[in-house]
Amino acid sequence: MTTLHLEEALNSPTKKILEIMQHRIVHKSTYFGVKTHKNPLDIWVYQEILFESKLDVIIEIGNKYGGSTLAFAHMLDNLGRVRVVGVDIDHSRVESVVKEHPRICLLEGDGLEMITEVEKLILPNDRVLVIEDSAHTFDTTLALLRLYERFVKVGDYFIVEDSICHHGLDVGPNPGPYEAIEVFVQENSDFEIDRSCEDFLITWNPKGFLKRVS
């Protein structure tokens, strides 16, 4: 992909900018040397949520190489919080630095099938952030929303990633996370879409920041 710099891209359409960022995120982005398929602007918003909410646990469904899992663990180190639970069908690609971090617990298996194991790790009073980043299909995303919303307390968040699929980037399943989010909030009035979390404008999670309000 042709490299553009800011002053050369000022008149480029947003879709072109998103494609350039996607290429960088997928092929080159790392956190402490570990591959991280995350938009860095979204990661910044995550740490704001962590600090403001004083969370105890992050459940990350789908963590691939573990770069974002490690980033979350480092954030929790600084906050004095407890743990990150990473759920993925295959942890063979996860770097040893991630596996060895004392705050990280990795569970291998399908997120829908691992709910009992996850539940064992959550205390009744824990404040939990759930991040869904697995298959990105409509059915899987909606099923995970319905299953894991039980862990999120009022004022806290369930974040669905990559709702940018076919809503900014022509990638991934269609329908996908974006459509699953819309169905979920229509059927569950306990959650509202918090678009203030998208104030950087460019996000890989449009409509994906779901705040529990009741």
Q: What is the pLDDT of residue 81?
A: 74
Q: What is the CATH number of domain 12-212?
A: 3.40.50.150
CB 46, CB 197: distance < 8 Å? no
Q: What is the pLDDT of residue 18?
A: 96
Q: At what angle do helices 67-79 and 40-53 cross, to 10 degrees?
A: 30
Q: What is the pLDDT of residue 175?
A: 98
Distance CA 180, CA 29 (A): 27
Give this prediction's pTM.
0.96
Q: What is the pLDDT of residue 82?
A: 76
* Tens digit of pLDDT at every position of the chain (214 positions): 667 899 999 999 999 999 999 999 999 999 999 999 999 999 999 999 999 998 999 999 999 999 999 999 999 998 887 799 999 999 999 999 999 999 999 999 999 999 999 999 999 999 999 999 999 999 999 999 999 999 999 999 999 999 999 999 999 999 999 999 999 999 999 999 999 999 999 999 999 999 999 9
CB 132, CB 158: distance < 8 Å? yes
Provide the token pair at 113.
């099938």
Distance CA 136, CA 202 (A): 19
CB atoms within 10 A of CB 184: 20
Q: What is the pLDDT of residue 54?
A: 86
